[in-house]
């Protein structure tokens, strides 16, 4: 029986991140999973929540000319500024009022951590209501990827994921998602990231949260990110990746949007018995249904689907599971991303042995499945997958940082005059549920059972 929190919305406002309808969750979720947060105060409205027509209407409602909205859009998306002092094309007496009505500051950078000689930067953001979220900028030769959060926390409860341990606080607004990218774009344009001034080329929805459980705001954000300047940031749709646990109705809906964003499906197991444990939403939508939706998405968009598979030692890394995965993907427009598990604090699970990883990869490759092992950038700053655990804090995170790598620096971003201590949020960890040993596959030995 699904919890009350996941029943279809009776009355939320479409633009209310706290209670908006969740069309992707029709049919409800298994008990314990949270599709929709309880009612909370919505973030302030921002220009990036609105499409261009909506912005003009909003300007008019403020007693302004409609074209003022376009001027503000040019400042925000084109010049990456929300500072009224920069807006010299607006009447001096109107600047502050317009900016505070349509460009309210949504996120405050609480802390920044960098590694990889400054080319990986994780930012911890505090939202208007004290919720904490994180984003990560990763600069590579020839591209810059922003990993963004779509929710404060996550309701999907995947036991190996740090965010999943703390539960869902609330959906982010479209503008709160966009603000993470604008901040990265601003830092890059300003030459703050080693490598010279640059631009964001890719955005991946792989930070905190399940993007398809916050469908309308994620879609709004995708439009703002990809609409050409000055309506949006002008990032190529092909550079956007939406990663999901597999909310089947929402995948179908996304396929019908006429976008060419990439879909990533967090599969992590080819068999329902194990996936039911690793990705609990699998109890609602099984592997076969999730993959059918993925292939329909590939057919509708022409884009290869990325299959995410975190390799967990002796849990899902057996050769027979590689073979089973290869059989599921044979002949499909798919690519497998193997991710060595980033162990979360308190969990006994760890990354696969290198030899098992190589074997898993080779078995897929031998069967003609395109496969790569994902770069694990940012591990030292807990910026890697599943490590974004600063959820649901009402007070600034505190506690000693345990950063082994001397390259990692904690950078204070709130001008305080005092160097900020190197701290990180203490993750709220609940013990991972015991996972049953997976049954033996048709062509392989039993899992060892050392899984919980
Ligand atoms: N909810 C979405 C997006 C956020 S997580 C999803 O599940 O796809 C982004 C990716 O990181 C997912 O593939 C997720 O399964 C993976 N991930 C989470 N925790 C991880 C960990 N501890 N180690 C490796 N990958 C992890």
- For residue 61, being part of any structural domain is answered with yes
Confidence (pLDDT) at 40: 77
Confidence (pLDDT) at 36: 73
Confidence (pLDDT) at 436: 36
| CA atoms in the 13 A half-sphere facing the CB of 63 | 2
Secondary structure of residue 72 in the 3-state scheme: helix
Which CATH number characterizes residue 97's domain?
A: 1.10.150.530
Q: List the one residue out of 362, 352, 276 whose CA is nearest residue 310.
A: 352
Confidence (pLDDT) at 101: 97
* Integer Cα distance of 329 and 308 in angstroms: 12
- For residue 367, being part of any structural domain is answered with no
Strand ordering across the sheet containing 262-266: 371-373, 334-340, 305-311, 262-266, 240-244, 202-205, 143-147, 132-140, 120-127, 107-115, 409-411
Confidence (pLDDT) at 30: 81
pTM: 0.83
- For residue 343, being part of any structural domain is answered with no
CB atoms within 10 A of CB 362: 13
Output the residue whose Cα is nearest ligand 1's atom 18. 386
Query: Residue 199: which H helix or E strand, with range?
Result: none
Confidence (pLDDT) at 344: 84
* Integer Cα distance of 17 and 40 in angstroms: 8
The one catalytic residue in 110, 112, 134, 361 is 134
* Integer Cα distance of 12 and 22 in angstroms: 10
Between the alpha carbon of residue 180 and those of residues 127, 135, 279, the distances in Å are: 11, 6, 27
**Catalytic annotation present for 161:** no
Which mutation among 254, 266, 340, 350 tests ligand 1's pocket best, with the greatest number of atoms within 8 A of CB? 266
Confidence (pLDDT) at 380: 62
In which residue ranges of the chain is pLDDT below 70? 1-27, 375-452
Strands 107-115 and 120-127: antiparallel
Please report where in the chains the tokens 């690519």 appear, as a residue. 335
Confidence (pLDDT) at 417: 31
Confidence (pLDDT) at 32: 79
Query: DSSP assignment, residue 238?
Result: G
Query: Residue 319: which H helix or E strand, with range?
Result: helix 319-329
- For residue 71, being part of any structural domain is answered with yes
Evaluated on CA atoms 23, 384, 418, 80, the torsion sign reads negative
- For residue 282, being part of any structural domain is answered with no
Confidence (pLDDT) at 165: 84
- For residue 270, being part of any structural domain is answered with no
Tokens of 24: 């992707």
Give residue 279's Cα distance to chain centre. 16
Confidence (pLDDT) at 421: 29
- For residue 88, being part of any structural domain is answered with yes
**Catalytic annotation present for 134:** yes
Output the residue whose Cα is nearest ligand 1's atom 24. 341
Split into its structural domains, the chain has a count of 1
Tokens of 298: 């590939």
Q: List the one residue out of 397, 422, 426, 385 whose CA is nearest residue 132.
A: 397
The one catalytic residue in 154, 158, 161, 385 is 385
Please report where in the chains the tokens 């890719």 appear, as a residue. 202
CB atoms within 10 A of CB 225: 28
What is the four-CA torsion angle of 447, 330, 282, 439, rounded to 10 degrees?
Answer: -20
Q: Which domain holds residue 66?
A: 44-105
Between the alpha carbon of residue 271 and those of residues 286, 311, 441, the distances in Å are: 9, 14, 9
CA of 161 to the centre of ligand 1 (A): 6
Phi and psi angles of residue 78, each rounded to the nearest 5 degrees, phi first? -90, -50
* Integer Cα distance of 262 and 258 in angstroms: 12
- For residue 153, being part of any structural domain is answered with no
Confidence (pLDDT) at 252: 98
Task: Let me know: does 341 contact 378? Beta carbons within 8 Å.
Answer: no
């Amino acid at each position: 029986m699904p919890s009350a929190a996941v029943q279809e919305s009776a009355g939320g406002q479409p633009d209310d991140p706290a209670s908006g309808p969740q069309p992707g969750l029709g049919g409800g979720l298994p008990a314990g999973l949270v599709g929709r947060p309880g009612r909370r105060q919505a973030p302030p409205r921002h220009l990036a929540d609105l499409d261009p027509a909506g912005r003009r209407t909003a300007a008019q409602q403020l007693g302004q000319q409609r074209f003022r909205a376009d001027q503000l859009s040019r400042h925000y998306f084109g010049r990456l500024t929300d500072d009224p002092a920069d807006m010299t094309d607006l009447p001096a007496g109107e600047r502050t009022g317009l900016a505070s009505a349509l460009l309210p500051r949504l996120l405050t950078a609480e802390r920044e951590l960098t590694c990889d000689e400054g080319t990986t930067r994780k930012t911890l953001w505090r939202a208007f209501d004290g919720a904490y979220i994180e984003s990560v900028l990763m600069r590579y030769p020839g591209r810059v990827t922003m990993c963004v959060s779509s929710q404060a926390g996550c309701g999907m409860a995947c036991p190996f994921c740090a965010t999943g341990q703390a539960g869902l606080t609330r959906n982010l607004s479209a503008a709160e998602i966009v603000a993470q990218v604008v901040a990265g774009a601003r830092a890059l344009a300003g030459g703050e990231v080693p490598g010279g001034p640059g631009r964001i080329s890719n955005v991946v929805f792989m930070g905190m949260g399940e993007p398809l459980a916050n469908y309308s705001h994620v879609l709004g954000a995708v439009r703002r990110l990809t609409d050409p300047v000055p309506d949006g940031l002008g990032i190529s749709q092909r550079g956007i990746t939406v990663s999901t646990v597999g909310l089947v109705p929402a995948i179908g809906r996304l396929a019908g949007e006429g976008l060419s964003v990439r879909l990533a499906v967090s599969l992590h197991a080819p068999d329902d018995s194990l996936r039911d444990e690793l990705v609990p939403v699998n109890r609602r939508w099984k592997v076969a249904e999730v993959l059918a939706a993925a292939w329909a998405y590939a057919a509708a968009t022409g884009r290869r689907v990325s299959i995410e598979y975190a390799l967990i030692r002796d849990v899902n890394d057996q050769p027979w599971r590689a073979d089973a995965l290869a059989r599921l993907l044979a002949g499909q427009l798919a690519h497998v991303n193997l991710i060595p598990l980033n162990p979360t604090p308190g969990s006994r699970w760890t990354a696969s042995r290198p030899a098992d990883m190589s074997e898993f990869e080779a078995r897929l490759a031998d069967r003609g499945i395109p496969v790569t092992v994902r770069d694990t950038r940012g591990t030292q700053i807990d910026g890697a997958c599943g490590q974004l655990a600063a959820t649901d804090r009402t007070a600034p995170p505190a506690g000693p940082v345990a950063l082994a790598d001397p390259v990692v620096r904690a950078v204070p971003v709130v001008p305080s005059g005092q160097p900020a201590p190197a701290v990180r949020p203490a993750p709220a960890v609940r013990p991972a549920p015991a996972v049953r040993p997976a049954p033996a596959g048709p062509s392989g030995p039993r899992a060892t059972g050392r899984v919980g």
